[in-house]
Chains A and B, each alone.
Chain A
Amino acid sequence: MTGKTAKAIFWVGTLSSLIIFLWLTYDFHQQEPKYAKTDKISAQVVAGKKVWHKYNCNDCHTILGFGAYYAPDMTKAYFRLGENNIVSIVMNPEKVYKNSFRKMPNLGVTKEEAANLVQFLKWVGTIENRKWPPQDEKFVKAYKLRETSAHTLNKADIVMGACGGCHSLENLGRSIASDFNDIAKTTSFDRATLVKFTLNPQSVRPDSGMPNQNVSPATAELIADFILSLKIGKEVQK
């Protein structure tokens, strides 16, 4: 190879790649509204993003898969947890994760900041990112369909979609709060009380640490039925 060819490789290689890249960048911005729903970026979403930066959440949590891998990904956290749970976790992590193997610091996030964060995470959840992360797709699906067409979903998926942020069902969900099998075994609540408890735990048990759940009464009923069916299932087995 001559020196001239080598030089040509450098210039052709660099410039062709640069041109393609800049052109794709232009197109990325053209398509941003479609993929990132930019019209939904309200002042509150922007405020929430600033809170996200202020407390350096991203150096523990990934979002869109980027950042530190120390804590759960936040891309679809809104669908996984719902509004009240996010607020309660972010404001009182020391209570929520009292028995956890890994702690989240209490960062002193205010109520208003937490509300903004929720709006930010809600918007992030709507970014069209090819259904990543894979493990959260079930939560997204359950969130979107449980109100309108619950019959198309598996009952366990609905329940875990709504409650899996804290409760487990065998291997599914998280072991922050009790497993549904244990709940079924030990609860003395009837259906109406279970529904009431789900929507507003403190109205049934004032000392409960569980936040009010952002689910419709219909979904709460479905959850109650699910718990009771586990109980019956166990008794039938016996």
Chain B
Amino acid sequence: MIAYESQRVARWYLELSLILFCLQVTVGLWLAVNYAFTLPQGLVDVLSFATSRAIHTNTLVAWLLLGFMGGSYFILPLECKRELYSVKIAYAQLVIFAGTAVTAVVGFLFGWTQGKPLLEIPVPLDMLIVVAALMFVFNVAMTIFKAKERSLIQWMLLSGVTFLSVLYLFGIPFFSNLNADYYYWWWVIHLWVEGAWELITAAIIAFIILEVTGVERKVVEKWLYVETGLFLFTGIVGTGHHYYWIGAPDYWLWWGGIFSALEPVPIALMVLDTWMHVKERKNPIVNPLLWTYIIGLALFHFLGAGVFGFIHTLPQINYYTHGSQITVSHGHLAFFGAYALLNLVVFYFAFPKLKGIEKFDEKLGVWGFWTMVISMVFMGLIFGVAGVLQTYLERILDIGYSTAHMSMMFWFKAVLFFGVIFLAGVVTTAYHLFSLKKAEA
């Protein structure tokens, strides 16, 4: 039931994305094992925590970006009422992107790295990523320019993906000064997750809500303007919450503290507008699971990214929590709540259509959803407890690192337990999506 033939390219993107999601979580479990047990030196020498972490985080970014790109390719024809500008570019770009990602992961195993957390991909491979990104932005832009009607959603999506691609450039150069290095590192990381990615999320969700609820476009667009405006207003200067302890002037404590305290506001608006549109829907609910995901996204986005971010963004608190397992807790809840769930919304929106199913049998998918959500809440809580404990032992009681960290072994066994459950949820969901069937009437 796709409306345009070129939407089919999305399928490859989304399926690859799902596979990488499974891989990412599996490697995550291995990281938890590294924390929970004492591994023999021989093993650590061959496959270190550092290498595994590079794979965990890079596969995360790769599957999220694949989801964004696949999602964009799926909704653009609908929103532009025409085929994609070029299906060939879309496929070529996928081959370059996926090839680079695989090469990067294999490279990490052999120690080929740029050595910057989350941005470990070496410069030559960065160039390939840039090529793929340029092709993508070009293809999106041309599809939009050739459309008969212009819409805010098109425009916001294009801004989001362009902004995302431009920011990537700031992570590529070598800086001899460590604090400038991290100053710009956050232009990639923070301005992605609290800037460009939010634009993409807002645009995609606005489109999907419009599509499934049938509410008035004008209303949805108004919300979209206000939300993205507030995302960028709070998010851009809010980058300052990463500059408290890097060696930068004092005013960052104020700018960073105040602007990032406001960051939950646009996310709260998103919860509100989702809620209202769901209530005022004109269309019947065909696949309740898709709605569960949309509402789950709104709430988890708000709690994991918004509220939890708010809790430790003030300098007085961040002084103690910075660089501890509390960041790990926030990172997991925020990435899952905002972006993993966004991609899952896209999957559950696109897969049935790509497979020509109107109403799908959702039993397994419901299990998948709740298993993932519940185990992720537990993982977040346990990371959080471990973080508070670590902070208290190390930074308040002044106990040395190794003594303080031995207690982590216990908490990470618990994380490992819920991680296994989480993986079961992920695999169930992936299996459900891959083997989607028509619901029995």
Contact = CB atoms under 8 A, between A and B. Distances in A.
B30 interface: no
B contact face: mostly helix, strand, loop, or mixed: helix
Contact of B50 (A57, A103, A134): A57
Contacts of B114: 53
Given A17-B236, A59-B117, A60-B49, A168 B403 contact: yes
A168 B403 CA distance: 10
A27 B394 contact: no
Interface in B388-441: 394-395, 397-403, 405-406, 409
B228 interface: yes
A94 to B, nearest CB: 5
Interface residues of B, number: 78
A24 B222 contact: no
Interface string B327-340: 11000000000000
B327 to A, nearest CB: 7
B232 A13 contact: yes
Contact of A62 (B111, B249, B323, B397): B323
Interface in B314-330: 319-320, 322-325, 327-328
Contacts of B34: 70
Contacts of A91: none
Contact of A59 (B50, B248, B400): B50
Q: Range of interface residues on chain A?
A: 35 or more
A9 to B, nearest CB: 4
A236 interface: no
Nearest to A59: B50
Given A104-B44, A168-B403, A24 B50 contact: no
Nearest to A43: B176
Contact of A134 (B221, B319, B406): B319
A135 B398 CA distance: 6
A130 B245 contact: yes
Contact of B116 (A31, A58, A102): A58
Interface stretch (A34-42, A109-117, A182-190, A208-216): A34-42
Interface string B149-189: 00000000000000000000000001011111011010000
B177 A38 contact: yes
Contacts of A64: 178-179, 182, 245-247
B356 interface: no
Interface string B109-149: 00101111100100000000000000000000000000000
A3 B53 contact: no
A39 to B, nearest CB: 11
Interface string A29-53: 1011001101001000110011011
Given A58-B117, A66-B182, A174-B400, A132 B255 contact: no
Interface of B: 34-35, 38-41, 44-45, 48-51, 53-54, 111, 113-117, 120, 174, 176-180, 182-183, 185, 218, 221-223, 225-226, 228-230, 232-237, 239-240, 243-249, 251-252, 255, 259, 319-320, 322-325, 327-328, 394-395, 397-403, 405-406, 409
26 contacts: A14-B236, A18-B232, A20-B237, A24-B237, A25-B183, A28-B248, A29-B180, A36-B180, A41-B176, A41-B177, A65-B322, A94-B45, A98-B41, A100-B402, A101-B402, A101-B406, A103-B40, A104-B44, A129-B245, A133-B245, A134-B320, A134-B395, A135-B398, A138-B398, A164-B400, A171-B399
Given A53-B116, A68-B50, A94-B41, 15 more contacts: A1-B222, A14-B236, A24-B252, A32-B180, A35-B247, A41-B177, A46-B176, A56-B115, A64-B247, A103-B39, A127-B178, A134-B395, A171-B398, A174-B400, A175-B402
